[in-house]
Structure 1
Amino acid sequence: MMNNLFESMNIALSMSQYDKLEKYYSFLIDENEKYNLTAITERKDVFIKHFLDSMLIKNSGVEVAHKTIIDIGIGAGFPSIPIKILEPSIKVTGLDSLNKRITFLNQLVQVLELDHCAFIHGRAEDFGQDSQYREGYDIAVSRAVAELRLLLELVMPFVKINGYFIAYKSIKTKTELDDAQNAFQCMKSELVEVQKVILPDGYGERDLLIIQKRGKIEKKYPRKPGVPKKNPL
């Protein structure tokens, strides 16, 4: 039955991929009490709200195969780990400010036997200034982390010129876009498209914001930890 829901969204999973999602779900629920990873625990809810939702990038028009992807505020692995299951050729870097989530993710990729996944404990403000990571990724993703004008400053320094940031949003998209006009300019970025997706079985709507980086960002961005949130662009 779950497979039908994925197929209804034009996402075809092999038995091996579906098996990995089952293992992901089991491990997530087993470890959730220890790490406080998600408030969503019912099986169908997790498969649609976390797994299927994460995989919507497949229909975004942005090619992900063989790309390097950074997930800012990766949390319990969404959206980048389901994307990795769907498209094994990608290389994933996940950044999170809570070390316990990094511990969970390192265990998770062993359980799921996923390669080319690295997880960093830290803040985007710091690592966005690090030459090892700055402008190092084809695609950045972020899901339910912060409002757009803040996200742009935290995320876009990681993205290569002409690369993409795909922001997963579900409410207040228009307001956030209006508020983010200055941030788009400062981050040398352009909104390519807002894709509205209706999830199956009455699970609501999702907006995918497709944002492309058009030029080099000034070295002063991202600003020091705490400043972007306190004084957004």
Structure 2
Amino acid sequence: MTEKEILSAGLHELGLGGEEAIEKLLEFSALLLEKNRVMNLTAVSSPREVVTRHFLDCAVLAPLLPAHAKVVDVGCGAGFPGVPLALLADVEVLLLDSLKKRILWLQEVCETLPIPNASAVHARAEEFGHREGFDVAVSRAVARLNVLAELSIPLVRVGGQFLAMKADDCMEEVGEARAAIAQLGGEIEEVRAYAVPQSGLARRLVVVRKVSETPARFPRRFAKISAKPL
């Protein structure tokens, strides 16, 4: 099967698709691998791996997002999961990262493809502001969950969600983060095990509901978050 056929089949499993979205994802893959030669964006080095390890993993989130939701991708890195979600779901995505050169590249990507419902901002999550300004915060393989929760949950409105994409062996990490999540106004609704379409890679999604306002003292400065995680 070609990369396009694998992507199309995997998206079909999730009830997703659309020729325009598929073509733009494949164009994004080409831009990513080209830029990866001069900038450290991903350990993945082939178009097929971009499809199986990145696109189809990220796509699992798309059916879970409410229509027209404002989504922030915290620590977006090379644009995962934010770029695929902007292409596959009816949402508005803000890509947030602390590394300026990555954000400048993602701004180019959003203009080139184009992706009118995505924007990229250079900022640290704990300094960004926009408190409780998003319906959903998403993040993938950025930091341990207790640290990630302090960076992400303050950005989510009460009633919204924080979705953390994690490895299959994350349950100890989840247990350690429960108290921190509660302190921040969140509640773990479920830890969903799933297999990435086409590859079968085992992953987990931590689903956190924002049930109350985050206390004003959070998030702390990153040095404190790192030195003394909740």
Shared fold per TM-score greater than 0.5: yes
Describe how 1:7-86 pairs up with structure 2 within 5 A. 7=12, 9-59=13-63, 62-86=64-88
Any idea what the Cα deviations from partners look like across 1:28-66, whole Å, max 9, x if unmatched? 11111222111102111110111111110134xx33320
Q: Contact 2:167/2:204 (CA < 8 Å) preserved in 1?
A: yes
Q: Which residue of 2 aligns with 1:4?
A: 9
Quickly say closer, same or farther: Cα 1:222–1:195, change in 2 above 3 A: same
Aligned residue for 1:33, secondary structure, equals coil
Aligned residue for 1:207, secondary structure, equals strand
- TM-score, length of structure 2 as denominator length: 0.93
Residue 184 (structure 1) aligned with residue 181 (structure 2): yes
How far is 1:204 from its partner? 1.6
Q: Contact 2:33/2:46 (CA < 8 Å) preserved in 1?
A: no
How far is 1:10 from its partner? 2.0
Provide the aligned C-alpha RMSD in A. Answer: 1.4
Q: Contact 1:23/1:111 (CA < 8 Å) preserved in 2?
A: no
State the identity as a percent: 33
Q: Contact 2:92/2:117 (CA < 8 Å) preserved in 1?
A: yes
Describe how 1:205-216 pairs up with structure 2 within 5 A. 205-216=202-213
Describe how 1:69-218 pairs up with structure 2 within 5 A. 69-87=71-89, 89-127=90-128, 130=129, 133-218=130-215
Q: Contact 1:35/1:104 (CA < 8 Å) preserved in 2?
A: no
Aligned residue for 1:145, secondary structure, equals coil
Aligned residue for 1:6, secondary structure, equals helix
Task: Give, in whole Å, the separation in 2 of the partners of 1:122 and 1:201.
Answer: 35
User: Where does structure 2 lack aligned partners over 5 or more consecutive residues?
Assistant: none
User: Where does structure 1 lack aligned partners over 5 or more consecutive residues?
Assistant: none
Aligned residue for 1:18, secondary structure, equals helix
Larger deviation: 199-208 or 174-183? 199-208
